[in-house]
Structure 1
Amino acid sequence: MQTERELTSSWLGWLSQRCRTRFEGKQMRIRRGATVHHVDWIDGLGGLRFPQPGCHIGTAGFDLEIYVPTDEPVTCNRCLRRSGERSSPLHAAEIPGQLALDLP
């Protein structure tokens, strides 16, 4: 019989593998949001890896079900800047759903 620690470790391993399967080669949305984010991976307990938005926007808790995989192109300007795909926020007007700031 497995101990509680072994059961938890086994479950976390399964969850990490499920995330890799769901998000490999994909982008993500958060819940039903319109913004599409890069998928970044963080090291969790025991060296297991879990997905998070590439812009590192804060989300409450550890509910990985709020992340929805998608094949759509990334629209988060912060994710695009962090990945080097967009060097300036002045390009926000080109991204549907994001407002451009009128900067001097």
Structure 2
Amino acid sequence: MEPDGALRLENSRVVHLAGTSTDHRGDELPAAACHVGVAGWDARRMHASNAPVTCCRCLRLLAARQIPARIAQTALF
């Protein structure tokens, strides 16, 4: 997955910023940047996505890094 890409976990509608996590051997593995679901996760549950990031935690991480993100706007009417 690309560094500032996006991913989904299983069938969730929430889109996370792609990041990395370190396993017990010290190897870096792809994971959600907000580290949701990292404990006991299975890499086969992650799927790359071209959709805009919708995870609130990931959006805060993007804002802190001042990286523009494609944010999904829900129609109000």
Give the SS at the match of 1:78.
Answer: helix
Unaligned ranges ≥5, structure 1: 1-22, 86-93, 97-104
Unaligned ranges ≥5, structure 2: 65-71
- The share of aligned pairs that are identical, in percent, is 30
Instruction: Give the match for residue 24 of structure 1.
Output: 2
Bigger Rg, which one: 1
Give the total of aligned pairs.
66
Q: Is the 8 A contact 2:21 2:35 kept in 1?
A: no
Give the SS at the match of 1:83.
Answer: helix
Richer in helix (by share): 1
Using structure 2 for the length normalisation, give the TM-score. Answer: 0.67
- 2:57 counterpart of 1:78: yes
- Runs of at least 4 residues of structure 1 off by over 6 A? none
Richer in strand (by share): 2
Using structure 1 for the length normalisation, give the TM-score. Answer: 0.52
